[in-house]
Amino acid sequence: MNLTLKVWRQKDARAPGRMVTYQAPDVLPDMSFLEMLDVVNENLIAKGEEPIAFDSDCREGICGTCSMVINGKAHGGWTGTTVCQLHMRHFHDGDTIVIEPWRARPFPILKDLITDRTAFDRIIQAGGFVSVNTGGTPDANALPIAKSDADTAMDAAACIGCGACVAACKNASAMLFVAAKVSHLAALPQGKVERERRVLRMVKAMDNEGFGNCTVTGSCEAVCPKEVSLDFIARMNREYGKAILKNSAPRPSKSGN
């Protein structure tokens, strides 16, 4: 199949960007989207031109680095699919495909399709961890966890931090990402000790990075390649509300008055 690509090219963070048109001939249906771009890049290099810069690492849907918007949809819009897992059989001979980077102020473009997503790292640094001493690896079944809690934690832990939820949101909200991380840890006994501190700090870090607020349009859930549910945002809001109430409650005085 022969395709036409319209790709965002931007030399560096400060240079203005523009769409550039390339031809992608002889694309095989079993190629992944990134393999198709690899071939386009090999042809560009052979012609002495600058290859298209894009991020990728695992190429099996688990690292979250292959962030790009395809035909206006983060990761291309196929259910539960990252760009690296998207195959060219979904396209047709003669198609024109528009490829852009994530577009959100907290994710500035570094070059072509690569954005700086370290804002997510800083949110994790603010609280997305367990720092209390949980001891060595416990024996299996020594720490009973209800099946429903384990399932909730696993569903939330599926988040790969790709940022598609932000890219798809008209407010550039990071609520789905933060909610997944907060919910994952709050559901498990190891994460309960710090749950209030965690949610307060992570939400503050999210706001400080300039992400917008959630207006529940559901666009994040629709594009999330790990199908992280909007329910986690409700769960985080409950965590946050409880933490605010607990932290604003008057402390009993030592004299008991």
Which residue, 84 or 186, is less far from ligand FES as judged by CB? 84
Q: Judged by CB under 6 A, does residue 161 bind ligand FES?
A: no
Shortest distance in whole angstroms from residue 76 CB to ligand SF4: 13
CA–CA dist 11, 17 (Å, integer): 7
Residue range at the interface with ligand FES (CB under 6 A); choices 12-20, 58-66, 126-134, 164-172: 58-66
Structure token pair of residue 195: 């749950």
Residues 132-151 that bind ligand SF4 (CB under 6 A): none
Which residue, 176 or 243, is less far from ligand SF4 as judged by CB? 176
Shortest distance in whole angstroms from residue 120 CB to ligand FES: 14
- Residue 178 one-letter amino acid: V
Which residue, 58 or 193, is less far from ligand FES as judged by CB? 58
CA–CA dist 50, 65 (Å, integer): 21
Q: Determine the longest span between alpha carbons in the chain, in angstroms.
A: 82
* Contacted by 163, from ligand FES, ligand SF4, none: CB < 5 to 8 Å by type: ligand SF4
CB distance 96 to 4 below 8 Å: yes
Q: Is 53 left (phi over 0), alpha (psi -120 to 50) or beta?
A: beta
CA–CA dist 48, 43 (Å, integer): 9
Which residue, 63 or 158, is less far from ligand FES as judged by CB? 63
Which residue, 5 or 180, is less far from ligand SF4 as judged by CB? 180
CA–CA dist 101, 113 (Å, integer): 4
Q: Judged by CB under 6 A, does residue 180 bind ligand SF4?
A: yes
Which residue, 44 or 158, is less far from ligand SF4 as judged by CB? 158
Q: Residues with Cβ < 8 Å from 106, sequence gap 6 or more? A: 119, 166, 172, 174, 209, 210, 211
Q: Judged by CB under 6 A, does residue 177 bind ligand SF4?
A: yes
Q: Judged by CB under 6 A, does residue 62 bind ligand FES?
A: yes
Q: Would you call 3 exposed, middle or buried from its count of C-beta atoms within 10 A (0-12, 13-18, 19+)? A: buried
* Contacted by 114, from ligand SF4, ligand FES, none: CB < 5 to 8 Å by type: none
Using CB under 6 A, pick the residue from 76, 127, 163, 212 that binds ligand SF4.
Answer: 163
Using CB under 6 A, pick the residue from 7, 66, 179, 233 that binds ligand FES.
Answer: 66
| Long-range contacts, 145-149 (Cβ 8 Å, 24+) | 145/188, 145/189, 149/187, 149/188
Which residues form the interface with ligand SF4 (CB under 6 A)?
64, 159-165, 176-177, 180, 224-226, 228
Which residues form the interface with ligand FES (CB under 6 A)?
56-59, 61-66, 82-84
